[in-house]
């Protein structure tokens, strides 16, 4: 498979008889294995299972292409998405050899649509990070320039697409973990509305914020994957029973009269000048295609990082309590008491950033501090959601930068967690409000590093959001 083939291009190869799933999967696996020492993007390569699935599809691939939207397409998924009997680590030593007995709904839907799982992608441990430097299995490198990070926490999934290994992959987005790596790697990354895609089989970080979504080389491919993985799931009480449109058919490219809201709060202090210029130029190009540019306000933006890192860490401290060395995962040796078993297992199994966030969250939920921190953060979260509701009374989509800077160098922010957290300022608010957003490439810095434009939509309005992104992409 040559670099950055789309789903449609692979299907054309199948229909013309110029390739078979076995050939595509074999080439994909060879590329993954050849590049992984340099990029460190993969934790488990699913060679045997992928080869068996591809061979089974060879005979009837031409007919399968007509009935299955992802027939014979190799895919990669982030290593916090379970696949039955395939190692799932979450980038952590505490789950270093975990083999889940079931498959995540989103992964199963990919496979039901004909996709072939070729690998599990490296990630920040338990999705906690913005650079994929926090993995217990080493730092992931940006394929555009390996001195730089790919973003996080879904860095491996972004690299899989940016390096041309697969046309699409899955990541999870709790505060920007799909969109920011998409921006840093120069690809498309979509975070759907909360509840649009089932979270069953996604190892939880912050349950009210987590959402699964696609990386892709094009908006069309992101639309194909979103259609395949969306829908209500009885295994996930937070998935919403809303009809799933055919998102691909919504991509007309016609945005005449589309109201694009631009919030000045997202173009001020801390925004890199090259990022600002690229995003403003992208907004002008939307206007040239017929969109109407309107000013909207998100007045509580200055509080988003503080609110996010209270709510997310509080939920993490609760969710990660299950990793105690008793039922599954890593277990310390020779503990003399139950409390020592818990303490040593968690101390040895978790990395520094995960420990930091567990402690922050436990403090925010502790007696005497709950009202002052967690409860107050939830009240401000409601105000942030209201900001979006009021903005969408005046516009159809909102345009902002995805990240305040292009990709930074490996190690540049490792000793400054606050600087790392502030890099999430334009993405975390979308998770707090539960609305969908997409990052699409809109330029490059003078150093040749990609810059992303973030478009934000109203709840369950992914069709219009994707069409706006498609119009810009054209």
User: Which residues are marked as active site?
Assistant: 78, 153, 177
Let me know: does 400 contact 456? Beta carbons within 8 Å. Answer: yes
Residues shown for the chain: 474
Residue 434: which region, alpha, beta or left (left: phi > 0; alpha: psi -120 to 50)? left
Q: Which two tokens stand for residue 37?
A: 């020492």
The C-alpha atoms of residue 464 and residue 165 are separated, in whole angstroms, by 29
Residue 403 CB contacts under 8 Å (≥ 6 apart), including other chains: 151, 176, 180, 183, 184, 275, 423, 426, 427, 452
Number of H helices, E strands in the chain: 16, 11
Let me know: does 227 contact 194? Beta carbons within 8 Å. Answer: no
DSSP string for residues in 177-240: TTHHHHHHHTSEEEEPPTTSB--TTBPPSSTTT-EEEEEESSHHHHHHHHHHHBS--TT-TTS-
Q: Which two tokens stand for residue 396?
A: 């159809």
The C-alpha atoms of residue 472 and residue 474 are separated, in whole angstroms, by 5
Let me know: does 92 contact 349? Beta carbons within 8 Å. Answer: yes
Q: Strand 168-173 and strand 74-78: pairing? A: parallel
The residue among 76, 78, 230 whose CA lies nearest residue 161 is: 76
């Amino acid at each position: 498979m040559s670099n950055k083939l789309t789903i449609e291009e692979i299907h054309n190869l199948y229909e013309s008889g110029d390739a078979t799933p076995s050939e595509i999967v074999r080439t994909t696996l060879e590329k993954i294995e050849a590049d992984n020492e340099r990029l460190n993007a993969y934790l488990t390569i699913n060679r045997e299972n992928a080869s068996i699935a591809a061979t089974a599809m060879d005979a009837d691939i031409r007919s399968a292409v007509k009935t299955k939207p992802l027939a014979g397409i190799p895919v990669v998924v982030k290593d916090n998405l379970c696949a039955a009997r395939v190692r799932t680590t979450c980038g952590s030593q505490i789950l270093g050899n975990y083999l889940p007995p079931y498959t995540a709904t989103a992964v199963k839907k990919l496979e039901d649509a004909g996709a072939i799982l070729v690998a599990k992608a490296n990630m920040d441990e338990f999705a906690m990070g913005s650079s994929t430097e926090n993995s217990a299995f080493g730092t992931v490198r940006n394929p555009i320039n390996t001195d730089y990070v790919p973003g996080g926490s879904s860095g491996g999934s972004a690299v899989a697409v940016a390096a041309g290994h697969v046309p699409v992959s899955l990541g999870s987005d709790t505060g920007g973990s799909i969109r920011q790596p998409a921006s840093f790697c120069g690809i498309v990354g979509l975070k759907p509305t909360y509840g649009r895609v089932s979270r069953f089989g996604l190892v939880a970080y912050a349950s009210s914020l987590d959402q699964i979504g696609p990386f892709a080389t094009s908006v069309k491919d992101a639309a194909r994957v979103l259609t395949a993985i969306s829908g209500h799931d009885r295994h996930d009480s937070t998935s919403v029973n809303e009809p799933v449109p055919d998102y691909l058919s919504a991509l007309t490219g016609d945005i005449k009269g589309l109201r694009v809201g631009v919030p000045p709060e997202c173009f001020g202090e801390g925004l890199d000048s090259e990022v600002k210029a690229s995003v403003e130029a992208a907004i002008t190009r939307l206007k040239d295609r017929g969109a109407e540019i309107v000013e909207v306000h998100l007045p509580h933006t200055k509080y988003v990082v503080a609110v996010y890192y209270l709510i997310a860490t509080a939920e993490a401290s609760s969710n990660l309590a299950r990793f105690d060395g008793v039922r599954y995962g890593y277990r310390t040796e020779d503990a003399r008491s139950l409390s020592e078993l818990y303490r040593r297992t968690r101390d040895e199994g978790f990395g520094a950033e995960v420990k930091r966030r567990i402690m922050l969250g436990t403090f925010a939920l502790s007696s005497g501090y709950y009202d002052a921190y967690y409860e107050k953060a939830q009240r401000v979260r409601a105000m942030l959601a209201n900001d979006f509701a009021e903005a969408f009374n005046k516009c159809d989509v909102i345009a902002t930068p995805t990240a305040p800077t292009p990709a930074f160098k490996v190690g540049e922010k490792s000793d400054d967690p606050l600087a790392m957290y502030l890099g999430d300022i334009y993405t975390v608010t979308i998770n707090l409000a539960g609305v969908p957003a997409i990052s699409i490439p809109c330029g490059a810095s003078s150093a040749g590093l990609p810059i992303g434009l973030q478009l934000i939509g109203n709840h369950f309005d992914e069709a219009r959001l994707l069409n706006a992104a498609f119009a810009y992409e054209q």
